[in-house]
Amino acid sequence: MKVKAEYTEQQRSIAAEVVNIACGYVEPLSLLSDVVAKLDVLTSFAQVSVDAPEPYVRPRLLAKGLTDDLM
C-alpha cells in the first residue's frame, strides 16, 4: 500500500510538472499558428494568381468620388 501511494504521488508530481512546462508554450504556439495561417492565405492567393486563366492584374484604387471610364 505504501509503495502504491508513493507511486501515485510521484505520478501526480510528474504530470503536474509536464502541465506546467507545456503551459509555457501556449503563447508562442498561438503566435506561430497565426503566422502560419497568414502564410497559408498568402501562398494560396499567389497560387491562384499564377494558375488563373487570365493574368492577375492588381486593381487600381481611385480616390473617393472618381470613376474609371473604362467600364
C-alpha 34/C-alpha 27 separation (Å) is: 11
Determine what percent of the chain is predicted with pLDDT higher than 90: 70
Domain ranges of the chain: 2-50
Identify the pLDDT of residue 67.
76
Which residues fall within 8 angstroms of residue 35, CB to CB, at 6 or more apart? none
Identify the pLDDT of residue 44.
96
Three cell numbers, residue 42: 498568402
- The predicted-structure confidence for 56-66, as pLDDT tens digits, reads as follows 888 888 888 77
pLDDT band per the 50, 70, 90 thresholds, residue 14: very high
- The predicted-structure confidence for 23-46, as pLDDT tens digits, reads as follows 999 999 999 999 999 999 999 999
Identify the pLDDT of residue 51.
92
Question: Do 68 and 62 meet the contact criterion of CB atoms below 8 Å apart?
Answer: yes
Question: Do 55 and 63 meet the contact criterion of CB atoms below 8 Å apart?
Answer: no
